[in-house]
Amino acid sequence: MEAPRIRLALCAIPALLLGSSFSSSAQTTAGGETSYPQKAVRLIVPYPAGGPADLLGRIVAQKLTDVWHQQVVVDNRGGANTIIAMDLAAKAPADGYTLVMGTTAMAINPGLMPKLSYDGVRDFAPISNLVYSSFMLVVHPSTAAHSVKELIALAKAHPGALVFGSGGPGSPTHLSGELFKAMARVDMVHVPYKGMAPALSDLLGGQISLLFSDPLVALPHVKSGKLRALGVTSVKRFPAAPEVPTIAESGMPGYESGIWYGLLAPAGTPRAVVDKVHDEVVRLMAQPDVQQRMAGVGALVIADTPEHFAATIRTDTQKWTRVAKRVEAPKFDLPTRP
């Protein structure tokens, strides 16, 4: 009588294993859609603590921690113009437990360093472009230009005489100047600094002619008469200085430059996870306290869709690759940002 029972038990094992496998698979699917996250999430920020990207990253991390009841830990990995952090994120498991704060640098770097260990378009799943900040074109009062048109005329009349500073070679402030040179077809000398503070100091001292600066940093000097503002690099005027025109409306249609900060995951991250993170960050970016903090640092909240963010990354990569390589064409056509 024992033999049939043993055979019956053995026959039941495959069914039990199948049922267990099915249950596990269902749990994984459900987890991807509804239960994520079930453990701590790492948010890689490609800059040291204290900067705009770190500020935004910590706001996002704290808000998501409060909603998810799972710790979202900021992991600062600065260096190499964000390459260290982006390489780390690209190679992380695509399970939703590693996110990264990407910036415009990921669109700039391919033009400067074509042999990157990752592809900024292929190796990431965009979640949302969170905020955008622009620059303000400011000149020393000794520079004989009171508008963008006058600056272009001055640069054409005296090739190589105007000197523009930047926060470093390959930085957004550097390439903002290169974009200006390419579109205006003028010759200006670039002087890179180790950060924007020494560049601004030299501009105030008259050692350089102009600078693409953080608007909130430049405005006090503009109001005191120590600097002159000619334009802002965004498509729309800067809310804190509505009297300053955009460069695009000042004789250079199509000019636009700035820094975006967006959230991404490694490519292959389940779409259900991407959608869940997206929905949460869009809600948190709409909160009044977050809006107020972003306005306080001169940033405009975007909080767009994964598809729109992906299109921005592709378009800006094309744009900044052209600028980085300084391709002089008879007509400097720029891709239209979505």
Same domain for 262 and 162? no
Per-residue pLDDT of the chain (338 residues; tens, 9 = 90+): 444 443 433 344 333 333 333 233 323 433 344 599 999 999 999 999 988 899 999 999 999 999 999 999 999 999 888 999 999 999 999 999 999 999 999 999 999 888 899 999 999 999 999 999 999 999 999 999 999 999 999 999 999 999 999 998 888 999 999 999 999 999 999 999 988 999 999 999 999 999 999 999 999 999 999 999 999 999 999 999 999 999 999 989 999 999 999 999 999 999 999 999 999 999 999 999 999 999 998 999 999 999 999 999 999 999 999 998 874 433 334 444 55
Is the domain of 178 the same as that of 243?
yes
Give the CATH number of the domain where residue 228 resides: 3.40.190.10
| Count of domains forming the chain | 2
- For residues 48 and 93, membership in a common domain is answered with yes
Structural domain contains residue 299: yes
- Do residues 122 and 263 share a domain? yes
In angstroms, how far is CA 312 from the centroid of its own chain? 10
Is residue 172 domain-resident?
yes
Q: Are residues 180 and 235 in the same domain?
A: yes
* CATH code assigned at 102: 3.40.190.150
C-alpha to C-alpha distance for 246 and 136, rounded to whole angstroms: 9
Is 22 among the domain residues? no
If asked whether residues 203 and 299 sit together in one domain, one would say no
Q: Are residues 214 and 252 in the same domain?
A: yes
Output the pLDDT for position 34.
56
Same domain, 92 and 231: no
Q: Is residue 23 part of a domain?
A: no
Residue 142 lies in a domain: yes
- Give the range of the structural domain holding residue 144, as residue numbers without chain letter: 136-256
The pair of three-digit structure tokens given for residue 250, joined into one six-digit string: 């000042």
235 within some domain:
yes
Both 246 and 275 in one domain: the answer is: no
Q: Residues 245, 305: one domain?
A: no
Q: Nearest 5°: phi and psi at 62?
A: -70, -40
- Tell which of 256, 283, 313 closes a domain: 256
pLDDT at 326: 72
This prediction's pTM: 0.83
Is the alpha carbon torsion for 185, 149, 134, 265 positive or negative? negative
Residues 6+ apart with CB under 8 A from 312: 129, 260, 262, 304, 337, 338
Listed residues 206, 237, 256: the one ending a domain: 256
Nearest in space to 100 (alpha carbons), one of 46, 64, 52, 37: 46
Residue at 5 is within a domain: no
**Domain-ending residue, one of 221, 240, 256:** 256
Same domain, yes or no: 126 and 262:
yes
What's the 3-state SS for 315-333? HHHHHHHHHHHCCCCCCCC
Quick one: 127 and 263 in the same domain?
yes
User: Is residue 146 situated within a structural domain?
Assistant: yes
pLDDT at position 51 is: 86
